[in-house]
């Protein structure tokens, strides 16, 4: 059996995409998982997928993960805190400040609650879309607050590390402003871009290449979920959209007369700004397009990186470049190994067979 930090059992409330993915990931590390959902069908599907067992009287979970839609998250968390007075509770909703405020307002025992949010997901919901490795190598924010002790919050850290994600600590409002920029506004932009395709001629759509697919994948996301997310984070999302309106106006003006003196330079400056911005996304620094990057999780133990490098050598794959993403105090680092594209699959498979956890 694989080692885990959590002892369990872990109760997962909401057996949809996120909840069932958490449950599958924990099961793969041998942790007992108890499943609950307003939909008995979702629980039954998740059980069939091997994600855990149905809740039973007398359950005593160590940790509860609430993975329900944002608009019911605070009330479900409050009910779980009341029903299980010895458990630590987290939720995975995409917006954080409003939930903590609602719990405090309702007088819930927030000394056992700390919200969190994995920056990992898919455009499809429900248990059938779940994947055990959904969180591997992804950031998972813990929305820190003062009412919970460091020791109690440790159970959430263990959950995140057991699922192979990277723990990031932020205040709830820092988190909400951050995700407005890197998740919520991109969803809006993808949606309005794809909306243009509704009336487009078939001949134009027949020219679809990879670029448009890259920037519109999330336009297929569930409107019900996103109405809730955008409504709960409206102010920061709106501020960024207002700035985009100015960006669009500059482009529109520059293209009104593209041969006018200075017009080409203005367009070029806007595009170059995009180059500079995209370079700042983690994982994009210095990426050499001749190579494929295999990302391997490395435990923060003496000798682990050396063991990984030795095993890459034994497998007989030439390491073209190596980058280590590691922050002091974190228990897992990510080794980004650049190899020739034709060697990437073999390296991934053989490292996985030797027990290494591959993050991407």
Ligand X SMILES: NC(=O)c1ccc[n+]([C@@H]2O[C@H](COP(=O)([O-])OP(=O)(O)OC[C@H]3O[C@@H](n4cnc5c(N)ncnc54)[C@H](O)[C@@H]3O)[C@@H](O)[C@H]2O)c1
Task: Kindly state whether residue 120 participates in binding ligand PRE, applying the rule CB under 6 A.
Answer: yes
Alpha-carbon span 347 to 343, nearest angstrom:
6
Task: Kindly state whether residue 228 participates in binding ligand PRE, applying the rule CB under 6 A.
Answer: no
Alpha-carbon span 219 to 213, nearest angstrom:
10
Q: Which residue in 10, 17, 99, 161 binds ligand X (CB under 6 A)?
A: 17
Near ligand PRE in 79-98, by CB under 6 A: 94
Hey, how many other C-beta atoms are within 10 angstroms of the C-beta on 223? 8
- Taking the least distance from each CB to ligand X, the nearer of 34 and 296 is 34
Report yes or no: 115 and 143 within 8 Å, Cβ to Cβ.
yes
Distance in Å, CB of 182 to ligand X, minimum: 13
- The partner residues of 332 in beta bridges, in order of sequence, read 299
Task: Kindly state whether residue 72 participates in binding ligand PRE, applying the rule CB under 6 A.
Answer: no
- Taking the least distance from each CB to ligand PRE, the nearer of 228 and 292 is 228
Distance in Å, CB of 243 to ligand PRE, minimum: 19
140 Cβ neighbours under 8 A, 6+ residues apart: 116, 117, 118, 119, 120, 160, 163, 165, 166, 167, 168
- Taking the least distance from each CB to ligand PRE, the nearer of 9 and 16 is 16
Task: Kindly state whether residue 67 participates in binding ligand X, applying the rule CB under 6 A.
Answer: yes
Q: Which residue in 2, 7, 38, 208 binds ligand X (CB under 6 A)?
A: 38
Alpha-carbon torsion, ordered 301, 304, 306, 310, to 10 deg: 160
Task: Kindly state whether residue 305 participates in binding ligand PRE, applying the rule CB under 6 A.
Answer: no
Contacts with ligand PRE: how many residues (CB under 6 A)? 8
Residue 351 phi/psi, 5-degree rounding, is -65, -40
Q: Which residue in 32, 109, 123, 311 binds ligand PRE (CB under 6 A)?
A: 123
Report yes or no: 189 and 243 within 8 Å, Cβ to Cβ.
no
Nearest in space to 360 (alpha carbons), one of 146, 137, 196 = 137
Report yes or no: 30 and 2 within 8 Å, Cβ to Cβ.
yes
Q: Which residue in 9, 10, 16, 24 binds ligand X (CB under 6 A)?
A: 16
Select the binding partner of residue 76 from ligand X, ligand PRE, none (C-beta < 5 to 8 A, by kind). Answer: ligand X
Task: Kindly state whether residue 326 participates in binding ligand PRE, applying the rule CB under 6 A.
Answer: no
Select the binding partner of residue 132 from ligand X, ligand PRE, none (C-beta < 5 to 8 A, by kind). Answer: none
Q: Which residue in 2, 39, 149, 331 binds ligand X (CB under 6 A)?
A: 39
CA distance from start to end of the chain:
23
Distance in Å, CB of 231 to ligand PRE, minimum: 14
- Taking the least distance from each CB to ligand PRE, the nearer of 5 and 122 is 122
Task: Kindly state whether residue 52 participates in binding ligand X, applying the rule CB under 6 A.
Answer: no
- Taking the least distance from each CB to ligand PRE, the nearer of 123 and 304 is 123
Count of residues for the chain?
360
CB neighbour burial string for 252-281, b if at least 16 within 10 angstroms, e if fewer: eebeeeeeeeeeeeeeeeeeeeeeeeeeee
Nearest in space to 179 (alpha carbons), one of 92, 103, 72 = 92
The continuous run of DSSP H or E covering 230 comes out as helix 223-232
Select the binding partner of residue 218 from ligand PRE, ligand X, none (C-beta < 5 to 8 A, by kind). Answer: ligand PRE
Distance in Å, CB of 226 to ligand X, minimum: 9
Q: Which residue in 5, 122, 152, 326 binds ligand PRE (CB under 6 A)?
A: 122
At 91 the three-state DSSP class reads strand
- Taking the least distance from each CB to ligand PRE, the nearer of 104 and 122 is 122
282 Cβ neighbours under 8 A, 6+ residues apart: 325
The β-bridge relationship of strands 292-299 and 332-339 is antiparallel
Mark the segment that binds ligand PRE (CB under 6 A) among 39-47, 52-60, 114-122, 337-345: 114-122
Binding footprint of ligand PRE on the chain (CB under 6 A): 94, 119-123, 183, 218
Binding footprint of ligand X on the chain (CB under 6 A): 13-19, 37-39, 42, 67-70, 72-73, 76, 92-94, 117-118, 121-122, 125-126, 225, 229
């Amino acid at each position: 059996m694989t080692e885990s930090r959590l002892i369990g059992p872990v109760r997962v409330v909401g057996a949809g995409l996120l909840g069932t993915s958490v449950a599958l990931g924990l099961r793969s590390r041998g942790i007992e998982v108890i499943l609950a959902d307003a939909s008995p069908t979702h629980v039954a599907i998740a059980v069939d997928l091997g994600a855990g067992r149905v809740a039973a009287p007398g359950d005593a979970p160590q940790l509860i993960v609430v993975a329900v839609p944002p608009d019911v998250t605070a009330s479900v968390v409050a009910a779980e805190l009341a029903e299980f007075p010895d458990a630590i509770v987290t939720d995975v909703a995409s917006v954080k400040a409003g939930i903590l405020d609602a719990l405090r307002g309702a007088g819930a025992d927030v000394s056992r609650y700390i919200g969190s949010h994995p920056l990992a997901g898919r455009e499809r919901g429900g248990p059938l879309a779940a994947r055990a490795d959904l969180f591997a190598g992804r950031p998972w924010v813990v929305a820190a607050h003062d009412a919970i002790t460091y020791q109690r919050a440790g159970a959430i850290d263990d959950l995140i590390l057991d699922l192979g994600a990277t723990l990031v600590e932020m205040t709830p409002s820092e988190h909400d402003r951050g995700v407005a920029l890197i998740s919520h506004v991109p969803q809006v932009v993808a949606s309005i871009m794809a909306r243009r395709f509704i009336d487009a001629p078939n001949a134009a759509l027949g020219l679809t290449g990879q670029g448009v697919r890259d920037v519109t994948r999330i336009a297929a996301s569930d409107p019900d979920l996103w109405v809730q997310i955008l409504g709960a984070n409206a102010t920061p999302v709106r501020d960024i959209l207002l700035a985009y309106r100015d960006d669009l106006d500059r482009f529109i003006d520059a293209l009104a007369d593209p041969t006018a003196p200075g017009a080409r330079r203005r367009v070029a400056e806007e595009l170059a700004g995009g180059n500079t911005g995209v370079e700042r996304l983690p994982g994009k620094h210095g990426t050499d397009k001749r190579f494929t990057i295999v990302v391997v999780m490395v435990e923060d133990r003496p000798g682990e990186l050396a063991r990984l490098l030795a095993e890459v050598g034994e497998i007989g794959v030439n390491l073209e470049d190596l980058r280590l993403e590691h922050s002091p105090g974190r228990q897992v680092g990510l080794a980004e190994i650049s190899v020739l594209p034709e060697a990437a699959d073999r390296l991934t498979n053989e490292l996985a067979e030797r027990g290494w956890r591959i993050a991407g």
